[in-house]
């Protein structure tokens, strides 16, 4: 579970620029939703796996957008999303 939550945190820490797919705010909201569901699942490995699969595709799109974004741009995008 810690690995999944860490992955979620990494996605939230890096910003995403809109490129026809989800935008930064979509990714941030998805990350928050996934983190809440993972926390609610507790130590239930089957439920955690189900949640990870649910968000896998969108998470990959968000990670792809984040890889070329600077930390400064990520912070600005996060502030703009609020």
| pLDDT tens readout for residues 30-47 | 999 999 999 999 999 999
Domain that holds residue 6: 2-81
Amino acid 44: pLDDT: 93
Specify the pTM.
0.66
Tokens describing residue 79: 């502030």
Residues 6+ apart with CB under 8 A from 8: 31, 34, 35, 38
Nearest partner of 17 among 78, 69, 79, judged by Cα: 69
Instruction: List the beta strands (DSSP E) in 1-82.
Output: none
* Count of structural domains, the chain: 1
- For 15-74, how does the pLDDT look when each residue is reduced to its tens digit (9 = 90+)? 444 445 568 899 989 999 999 999 999 999 999 999 999 999 999 988 888 888 888 888
């Amino acid at each position: 579970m810690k690995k999944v939550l860490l992955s979620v945190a990494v996605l939230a820490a890096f910003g995403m620029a809109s490129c026809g797919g989800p935008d930064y705010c979509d990714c941030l909201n998805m990350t928050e939703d996934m983190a809440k569901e993972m926390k609610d699942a507790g130590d239930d490995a089957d439920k955690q796996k189900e949640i990870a699969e649910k968000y896998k595709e969108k998470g990959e799109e968000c990670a792809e957008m984040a890889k070329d974004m600077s930390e400064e741009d990520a912070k600005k995008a996060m502030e703009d999303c609020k």
